[in-house]
Amino acid sequence: MLIMRGMDREITRRDFLNGALAGSGALLLTSASPLQLLARAASASPPESRSADDWTGYGGVGDYANSNGNTLGVLEAGHQIRDGLFETLPASVIDTGEVYDCVIVGGGISGLAGALIFQRLAGNSKTCLVIDNHPIFGGEAKRNEFLVDGHRLIGHQGSALFWPPYPHSFIARFYDSIGLTAPRLKYQKWAGPAPEIPLTRTPYLGSAPYGLYFGAKFGQPQGVWVTDAWGEKSGIKKLEGAPISAKAREELLRYQSDSTPPQKPQYRGDAISRRLDTITLEDYMMERYRISRETVRTFAPDEGGGFGLGPDALSGYTAYAFDELGPIPDDGTEMFPDGNSGIARLIVKTLIPESIAGSPSLEDICRKR
């Protein structure tokens, strides 16, 4: 239980959060909140469709079929907490008689790292139990596995990228202690007879070739693919063939190709960052790239989406907030084939050497079961 100091007395974290929720709810008396709308949608769907609901999305095979991160079950559990279902222990609880020196709830990277640090500080004479409500550990840093034509494909779910740390920093020492002794990874070289295709090191768009798909809403029942849309390879296309207006084409090209150095915040709380925090990210995009609100909302609704909201709701400071989170080396990001599940697997292999077959090499960590 976390005790938080009130104005004149101590309050529990639960009371604090309940009070905050009550205050938020008062602002929503005239309309349904997003959670209420989601709850209605969930309750309206027939029970047999819950396992394939739009909220949960697709899972992998085997244990990964039920190891999605943000599932409908998470949403419903939140509603059960709200409704007081966990205020008392259920009658089905059985005392196993097990006693541990430390119990960690949640097998994500934080929980696993906590267990490893406990093991190192407390020694082998102390016991630690990590519990999780999924068959697969990793939390937001989970991988997923699919079988396609007999081949096992691996991809990440949530947490994906990491940065090579500064030498001698805490995170550098931690990486080294779990076997990530060379955080700048080695990548497979192009070896085929055909001309090399430029590929990124992550699934995010970058230098790799990609196309834009315009669906039926743009007046083409079957949809239209536009490859090399920006003319980066040919220098010609410039959205040629895209079923959009001349104005939208002009604005998108300006948005994509703008190279004018922006006035970036120099530090948190400076005049530039304070001004950006008074406007939305949408307004900032309109101002910087001279594009219309309609273009932003039609073609860039997920700008800043890693923060969970759209540019119409996010602060303009969001454009630079990620860069301001801390010192990041300039030599780019790294990514295991399974995202930061690779980090979680390294921690588990360090905790329990026999948990993953093979050696503690990065190849075995990623490929072995």
Separation CA 134–CA 64 (nearest Å): 9
In this model, does residue 159 exceed pLDDT 50? yes
Query: What number is the average pLDDT over the span 154-174?
Result: 87
Name the token pair of 146: 């699919």
**Which of 6, 32, 332 is closest to 161 using CA atoms?**
332
Residues sharing a CB contact under 8 Å with residue 287, sequence separation 6 or more, in sequence order: 279
Nearest to 346 by CA among 131, 137, 202: 137
Report the range of poorest mean pLDDT among 22-26, 212-216, 362-366.
Answer: 22-26
Number of Cβ within a 10 Å radius of residue 110: 13
Mean pLDDT of the residues in the chain: 80
pLDDT surpassing 50 at residue 170: yes
Q: Which of 338, 344, 335 is nearest to 367 (CA)?
A: 338
Residue 225 CA to residue 228 CA, distance in Å, equals 10
d(C-alpha 203, C-alpha 336), whole Å = 11
Q: How confident is the model at residue 230 (pLDDT cuts 50, 70, 90)?
A: confident
The string of pLDDT tens digits covering residues 63-109 is: 888 888 778 888 898 999 999 998 998 888 899 999 999 999 999 99
Mean pLDDT to the nearest integer, 138-164: 89
The H or E element that residue 318 is part of is: helix 318-321
pTM, to two decimals: 0.66
- How large is the C-alpha radius of gyration of the chain? 25
Calpha distance 344→111 (Å, rounded)? 10
Q: How many helices (H) and strands (E) does the chain have?
A: 12, 8
pLDDT average, residue stretch 47-76? 74
Task: Please report the DSSP string for 31-79 in residue order.
Answer: S--HHHHHHHHHHHS-GGGGGG-TTT----SGGGGG--SS-HHHHHHHH
CA separation, residue 29 to residues 25, 75, 284 (Å): 7, 21, 31
Q: What is the DSSP string of 6-23?
A: -SSSEEEHHHHHHHHHHH
The pLDDT value recorded for residue 111 is 97
Helix (H, G, I), strand (E, B) or coil at 102: strand
Confidence of residue 52 (pLDDT cuts 50, 70, 90): low
Task: Quote the CA–CA distance of 63 and 59 in Å, as a whole number.
Answer: 9
pLDDT at 206: 60
Q: Tens digits of per-residue pLDDT, 266-320? A: 877 889 999 999 999 999 999 999 999 999 999 888 787 667 788 999 999 988 8
Model pLDDT for residues 178-204, shown as the tens digit of each residue: 999 988 888 888 888 888 877 777 777
Q: Give the pair of three-digit tokens for residue 261.
A: 């150095």
Find out whether 103 and 129 touch, Cβ atoms under 8 Å. Answer: yes
β-pair type (10-12, 3-5): antiparallel
Query: Using H for helix, E for strand and C for coil, what is the string for 162-214?
Result: ECCCCCCCHHHHHHHHCCCCCCCCCCCCCCCCCCCCCCCCCCCCCCCCCEEEE
Write a three-state SS string for 250-279. HHHHHHHHCCCCCCCCCCCCCHHHHHHCCC
The predicted structure's pLDDT at residue 114: 97
Contact between 162 and 340 under an 8 Å Cβ cutoff? The reply is yes
Give percent above pLDDT 70 in the chain.
Answer: 79
Q: Please report which helix (H) or strand (E) contains residue 5, including its range.
A: strand 3-5
What's the pLDDT score for residue 276?
94
Q: Is residue 16 within 8 Å of residue 9, measured between CB atoms?
A: no
User: Could you state, in order of their start, the residue ranges of all structural domains in the chain?
Assistant: 53-84+98-186+333-369, 262-332
List Cα–Cα distances, 255 to 226, 230, 276, in angstroms: 17, 11, 19
Average pLDDT over residues 154-170: 86
Residue 43 pLDDT greater than 90, yes or no: no
String of DSSP letters for 214-260: E-GGGT-TT-EEEETTT-TTTS--TTTT-SS-HHHHHHHHHHHH--P
